[in-house]
Structure 1
């Protein structure tokens, strides 16, 4: 486990200058490509209707409400909100949630696991001993036949 934590921490240190996870940036770039196909219509100061083919979604940047809800669920702007942000001349990459940042991931691996001595050096106290639970007889008639193994031969009458 200690080796896995160190490996993941070293992987995070190789992230680019923008400090966003690679998986998040890949998804953002795909959605930004999809956003270029969308058409946007302004209906108010911050409200937009974004159409992607036959699908239409409402994006309200002021109240942060989106009908597709991908941005709410994932923290990454969806193609519809990317198109609305680009129309408003806001850089959509700045709206990616903080939990995808390098700092958030580094906080995950901030506390290191300390090595533990071998099992023979562990202190065993009598107060921490575990005892088996009491066996309670089950209600109902006991089974009369035993369960046979799948490859066990079955004997029939007369054989």
Structure 2
């Protein structure tokens, strides 16, 4: 994430601090708005990036066979047998718990139950949560031309004397050799 952010502000970093911050504010302001409007226009249940991963898991799910054990617990066999508990949202492969995205076993189970795999994704990946995270905006600001003029002097911070004896630099003799300090030349 930091590399992506640094890549977007490459030109802004070489500017004066006020103009750099203004460029960063404008880029974040437009990013939030475009992300929100793009997601509003999409007719999806989960976020696009999660949907891409979920489609990959769905493509592998056709190899799995599902055997019901109870209404919420199932055995799923591919090249290895795993148990899937949809009540506790757990799978033996642990991919569903770790990422929140249904694994191929859960996708096969969703097909067996004639439900969508997207329903089993973690709630943070849903479209509503995505829109909720991008609902806040950054307000626009007027340019520097319209800023109020302030007549307060800007003084540097006071110099504080550090503890200890002050260092005295020795005055060098005009004939002293700079390559060999302490020795005089034959001049």
* TM-score (structure 2 length as normaliser): 0.56
1:64 match: 89
SS at match of 2:138: coil
8 A Cα contact 2:95 2:102, kept in partner: yes
From 58, 72, 75, the counterpart of 1:49: 75
Deviations 1:7-36 (A, max 9, x none): 2222212312x3422222222121111111
Distance 1:33 1:122 in 2: 63
Return the match for 2:112 from 73, 79, 87: 87
Residue 37 (structure 1) aligned to one of 63, 69, 76: 63
Tell me: CA distance 1:130–1:57, structure 2 relative to 1, closer, same or farther (3 Å).
Answer: farther
What TM-score does the superposition give when structure 1 sets the normalisation length?
Answer: 0.64
Q: Give the Cα separation in 1 of the matches to 2:45 and 2:107.
A: 19
Q: Which residue of 2 aligns with 1:97?
A: 122
Measured on the aligned residues, the alpha-carbon RMSD in Å equals 3.4
Q: Alpha-carbon deviation of 1:37?
A: 0.7
SS in 1 for 2:55: helix
Cα pair 2:102 2:121 within 8 Å, conserved: yes
Q: Structure 1 residues 25 and 121, CA, compared in 2 at 3 Å: closer, same or farther?
A: same
The structure whose Rg is larger is 2
CA 1:90–1:135: 2 relative to 1, 3 Å:
farther
Q: Is the 8 A contact 1:15 1:22 kept in 2?
A: no
Partner of 1:4: 31
Separation (CA, whole Å) in 1 of partners of 2:105 and 2:127:
26
1:122 CA displacement: 8.8
Q: 1:74 to 1:131 in 2, by over 3 A?
A: farther
Residue 49 (structure 2) pairs with residue 23 (structure 1): yes
**How many angstroms does 1:38 deviate by?**
1.2
* Distance change (3 Å), C-alpha of 1:31 and 1:7: same
